[in-house]
Structure 1
Amino acid sequence: DSKPGILDDSDGPRMEVSRGNANDGGIEYGRLPFHRGGRDEFGDEENLAVAIAVNDVDSTFIPSAIQYDPDKKPPIYQNRRFRLYMCSGFVLLIMITLAVSFAVSRNVGSTSNSNNIQSSLRTDSPTFSPTLSPTTANFQGIIGEISKLTDVALFNDINTPQGKAFKWIHDDDPRQLSARDDFLLQRYALVVMYYSLQENGPWATCGEEDNSHQNSTLCDGRKRIFPSGVDEVVYEVVPDEVKWLSAEHECNWFGVYCDLDDSVVIIEIIDNNLVGTLPRELSTLTFLEYFRISFNGLRGPLPVWFSECRQLRDIELHFNQFTGPIPEAIYDRADFERINLGGNMLSGTISTRIGELINLKGFFLHENAFSETIPTEIGLLSPDTLAYTWWHQNTFSGTLPTEIGNLNKLREFWFFNMGLSGNIPTEIGLLYDVEFLRLESNKFSGKIPEEIYNNVRLTNLYLSNNFLTGTLSSNVKKLVDIKEISMKTNFLTGPIPDDFSNLNSLDMLWLHYNNFKGPVPSSVCTLTFLSLTDLHADCLKGGNLPARNECTCCTVCCESIPGGLCYLMN
């Protein structure tokens, strides 16, 4: 029987705990709703005495007694405190011995390394005299830090960009950074870049020699702009910029932008007479996200170290003088968002690893010397993000891969003057967001695919200078946003469809140098009163041949013979 005042397995509610909470509905937060053996459970009976039976026979074993002498002390080696002190002292002695040995060996090694570095820095005729003695700890520390980026032989030679940068950091920099400064290597790397890109003399603006501003620290920078309809180069003055190699923090230098922690995240210096090769020291800018040095004179192969800048998302090096192939290391980074290598002298083939660049929004390879076929992996090239890709004016061969139909986020697709042949793939009609479609000056043959008119967001369609045949489809009327159409210099036949008259935004229509028959429809001419300002057709006779397309509204009429002349009409 259970006894009063004792809670056994059947007494009261049972509490089960899961993840720290009681599951029983009558128990909250794991607490019992009563006190064990208290007044709440048993009322006034809590003071009752309870008799408990005792067995007559006690079988408990009792060991024999041992006489105790309070004045007798045990031997000292049996004293626990003594043994603890002895062990602690022994351990401490071992630690002191090891520390002394390590310090001695460390000092010997450090002295040897210091002597080696100082020996390498000595020359029969010193290239520069440091402000601080080479034996100072700061001098040695700066050498140690910079040698993490640059070979000692390079920064020991005052004729190299690294040597000039080392001298400036140590002797001439008004900030006089210590070896422990968090931004020593960042500042050094930028100074190396500055000296590396002066092969054609001083920078156009904001270099160390710039005296354009009354404040010796400041300069009037410039920014290249591209106004619509203007062919010549136009600059916009950017006043009160900070010169490079000034006393200011490098984050304030012209074209350099930093985050809130003063780490460089953007370098943007466009068209500023930067000539030379990019130094590897820039790889220390581990937070660099945007590198934009276009319209300058950078030369040599593309740097492999781009792939080492783990935050780098945007590379814009167009219109420089880079040579060689695209390094395979570029494809190691799947998180690039924009790569612009156009307008250089790059060559070789496009790697099948191109499909590994899955986050690009813009990819530009135009105006280089790339060759061979376009890999089918182009269909894997950021299909969910790629909006702009220009490959024009290279020397590719073969056909346009059907896999381009996967790039359904494209807005600009510039593949003209590339030597491509075969039919225009029907998958071209899957580029539902495309606005600029440029396939002119290739060797495409066959008919214009009907699917091309599914791209109803087209504003500019260029198919000229190919070998296209067949007639123009009435589905052209679906291109309601189109502004410019060029189909000149092909072998198109049949009548000129009056469906062009539905294109109320059409500004340019070039149909000349084809085999169209019949007049330009009068309904098309009505567009000249709305938006159409540039209409070309074969509306002049050629020799004894009559005009193929009579036209009363054309702005330019061409002779109806191969290679015929074109004339501006009144």
Structure 2
Amino acid sequence: MAVLKQRGLMGSSSIWLMMMIGVLLQCNFFLLVSAILDPVDFLALQSIRKSLDDMPGSNFFSTWDFTSDPCNFDGVYCDGDKVIALNLGDPRAGSPGLSGRLDPAIGKLSALAELSIVPGRIVGGLPKTIANLKDLRFLAISRNFISGGIPASWGGLRNLKTLDLSYNQLTGSIPKSVGSLPELTNVILCHNKLSGTIPAFTSRSLIRFDLKNNALSGSLSPISLPPSVQYLSLSWNRLTGPVDRLLNRLNQLNYLDLSMNQFTGTIPGRVFTYPMSNLQLQRNQFWGQLEPINQVTISRVDVSYNRLSGHISPLFSSVQNLYLNNNRFTGRVPASIVSRLLAANIEVLYLQHNYLTAIEINPTAEIPLSSSLCLQYNCMVPPVQTPCPLKAGKQKTRPTTQCNEYRG
């Protein structure tokens, strides 16, 4: 019996010894990992991983094995013992992306300079704790299902250069504190449900400003954007008021889309001299005459569906796609525009639904197959019959009474 008890005791000792060895190994592993990555960052990555999952077909998290060095995980980039960049999800086009929610632990990655998340089905709100990332320069959380508002506390991200929250379901207004961020170069908040007015953005290095497809309202002050802006898109909102003084300041624009709003006032002639290829001001309430300063070299100009009036300037003859339809233009169509159309230098010339009285074109002239001309519903009988958009209607000529009333 004594021998059996001794053997039993030794068996218990062996089990205890093995347990202690296991504990020591775990402690040594934690010390090893801690030597590679800051423990706070290590625990933050664990929390982030628990809150997100691969969508079917995605294998992004397959390398996230916390028994190895997290700095070797896909999408994790370190400098010393700190995480400096976190790119969540497979960046290849067509990747299924991730699902889940954004854990507030992201805000504990104190050295993070870059945070991006690929398109997926992530829901919930934007963590307010991101405001703690004082070194953050690049933030792109787009094409998911993020809801709620943009935290006002993000106004503390004084080093942020790119803010891309596009294609989500964000609501509420744009915080004034975000507009005052001094280093912003790219603001991309398009395709959300943002409302309220647009605050002034004061960064002198702002280049791209895209807020299209929201529910923003109110007017823009002449100093709401800096002269450095090159790309400006505010289409599909509810914005009102004049923009002539603002546009006169933005002389570096190479893309401008203010369409589908309720802007009023005149369109400054200077805007047609800017180095852009696409100018879209259609479906607003702009009025007055269009008076370019020089020959217009913009390839596409769309000012349709406004209240513009006066004669059509011959300086538009070099525009390849010219949409002047559904306005109140009067007089004759300039001969220089007609000659360039017949020479196939103009692809689209839409003049329908105006009060034009004449066009110098031979009824037997052949419109190039590569060109589209629409003249119907003016104060003249179109000398040539050309296909027009269906929404132009079937009436070829405007009623005489309307023409007389407008002239009177």
TM over 0.5: yes
1:321 maps onto 2:145 in alignment: yes
SS at match of 1:467: coil
Q: Does the CA contact (< 8 Å) of 1:538 and 1:549 recur in 2?
A: no
CA distance in 2, matches of 1:509, 1:332: 45
SS at match of 1:517: strand
Aligned to 1:25: none
Name the aligned partner's letter for residue 228 of structure 2: K
Aligned to 1:408: 227
Name the aligned partner's letter for residue 472 of structure 1: L
Return the offset for 1:510: 1.5
Return the offset for 1:322: 1.3
Aligned to 1:489: 305
Name the aligned partner's letter for residue 23 of structure 2: T
Return the offset for 1:358: 0.9
Aligned to 2:336: 523
1:424 maps onto 2:257 in alignment: no
1:535 maps onto 2:386 in alignment: no
Return the offset for 1:356: 2.6
Q: Does the CA contact (< 8 Å) of 2:335 and 2:360 recur in 1?
A: no
SS at match of 2:153: helix
Gaps of 5+ in 2: 1-17, 362-366, 379-389, 395-408
Query: Of 341, 346, 358, which aligns to 2:182?
Result: 358
Q: Does the CA contact (< 8 Å) of 2:269 and 2:291 recur in 1?
A: yes
Name the aligned partner's letter for residue 118 of structure 2: S
Larger radius of gyration: 1
| CA deviation map 1:281-331 (0-9, x unaligned) | 333322221111132222211111212122211100122111111112100
CA distance in 1, matches of 2:132, 2:252: 34
SS at match of 1:447: coil
1:458 maps onto 2:272 in alignment: no
Name the aligned partner's letter for residue 354 of structure 1: V
Name the aligned partner's letter for residue 352 of structure 1: K
Structure ranking higher on relative contact order (CA contacts 8 Å, 6+ apart) = 2
Q: Cα distance 1:427–1:204, how it changes in 2: closer, same or farther (>3 A)?
A: same
Name the aligned partner's letter for residue 407 of structure 1: P
CA distance in 2, matches of 1:322, 1:474: 43
Q: Cα distance 1:559–1:550, how it changes in 2: closer, same or farther (>3 A)?
A: farther
Q: Cα distance 1:374–1:135, how it changes in 2: closer, same or farther (>3 A)?
A: same
SS at match of 1:331: helix
Gaps of 5+ in 1: 1-130, 143-174, 209-242
Aligned to 1:146: none
Matches for 1:536-551 after TM superposition, within 5 Å: 536-538=350-352
SS at match of 2:122: strand
Aligned to 2:207: 387
Q: Cα distance 1:330–1:417, how it changes in 2: closer, same or farther (>3 A)?
A: same
Q: Does the CA contact (< 8 Å) of 1:434 and 1:457 recur in 2?
A: yes
Aligned to 1:155: none
Query: Of 445, 448, 471, which aligns to 2:289?
Result: 471
CA distance in 2, matches of 1:180, 1:415: 48
What root-mean-square deviation, in Å, do the aligned CA atoms of Structure 1 and Structure 2 show? 3.4
Query: Of 443, 446, 449, which aligns to 2:262?
Result: 443
SS at match of 2:129: helix
Q: Cα distance 1:398–1:185, how it changes in 2: closer, same or farther (>3 A)?
A: closer
Aligned to 1:274: 98
Q: Does the CA contact (< 8 Å) of 1:307 and 1:332 recur in 2?
A: yes
Aligned to 1:102: none
CA distance in 1, matches of 2:168, 2:305: 29
Matches for 1:183-202 after TM superposition, within 5 Å: 183=37, 184-198=39-53, 201-202=55-56
Task: Tell me the TM-score normalised to structure 2 length.
Answer: 0.75
CA distance in 1, matches of 2:311, 2:19: 86
| CA deviation map 1:74-131 (0-9, x unaligned) | xxxxxxxxxxxxxxxxxxxxxxxxxxxxxxxxxxxxxxxxxxxxxxxxxxxxxxxxx9
Aligned to 1:297: 121
Q: Cα distance 1:492–1:546, how it changes in 2: closer, same or farther (>3 A)?
A: closer
Q: Cα distance 1:327–1:558, how it changes in 2: closer, same or farther (>3 A)?
A: farther
| CA deviation map 1:509-566 (0-9, x unaligned) | 2222223235543422454557543333328x9xxx9998687565152642895249
Question: Which shows bigger deviation, 366-375 or 249-258?
Answer: 249-258
SS at match of 2:112: coil
Query: Of 366, 374, 392, which aligns to 1:564?
Result: 392
Q: Does the CA contact (< 8 Å) of 2:333 and 2:358 recur in 1?
A: no
Question: Which shows bigger deviation, 301-310 or 178-187?
Answer: 178-187
SS at match of 1:343: coil
CA distance in 2, matches of 1:322, 1:400: 27
CA distance in 2, matches of 1:548, 1:441: 30
Q: Does the CA contact (< 8 Å) of 1:138 and 1:178 recur in 2?
A: no
SS at match of 1:470: strand
**Number of equivalences:** 352
Query: Of 533, 537, 555, which aligns to 2:372?
Result: 555
Q: Cα distance 1:450–1:534, how it changes in 2: closer, same or farther (>3 A)?
A: closer
Q: Does the CA contact (< 8 Å) of 1:515 and 1:548 recur in 2?
A: no
Q: Does the CA contact (< 8 Å) of 1:491 and 1:515 recur in 2?
A: yes
Query: Of 204, 212, 215, which aligns to 2:58?
Result: 204
Query: Of 23, 42, 49, which aligns to 1:136?
Result: 23
Task: Tell me the TM-score normalised to structure 1 length.
Answer: 0.55
Aligned to 2:325: 512
| CA deviation map 1:251-308 (0-9, x unaligned) | 333333334x364322223454211111233333222211111322222111112121
**Identity within the alignment, %:** 24
Query: Of 109, 112, 128, which aligns to 1:288?
Result: 112
Aligned to 2:4: none
Return the offset for 1:409: 0.5
Question: Which shows bigger deviation, 261-270 or 305-314?
Answer: 261-270
Aligned to 1:181: 35
Q: Does the CA contact (< 8 Å) of 1:558 and 1:565 recur in 2?
A: no
CA distance in 2, matches of 1:462, 1:538: 18
CA distance in 2, matches of 1:358, 1:334: 6
Aligned to 1:372: 196
Q: Which has the higher strand share?
A: 2
Matches for 1:251-262 after TM superposition, within 5 Å: 251-259=71-79, 261=80
CA distance in 2, matches of 1:560, 1:134: 91
Name the aligned partner's letter for residue 469 of structure 1: W
CA distance in 2, matches of 1:343, 1:331: 21
Name the aligned partner's letter for residue 485 of structure 1: V
Name the aligned partner's letter for residue 555 of structure 1: S
CA distance in 2, matches of 1:456, 1:179: 56
Q: Does the CA contact (< 8 Å) of 1:558 and 1:564 recur in 2?
A: no
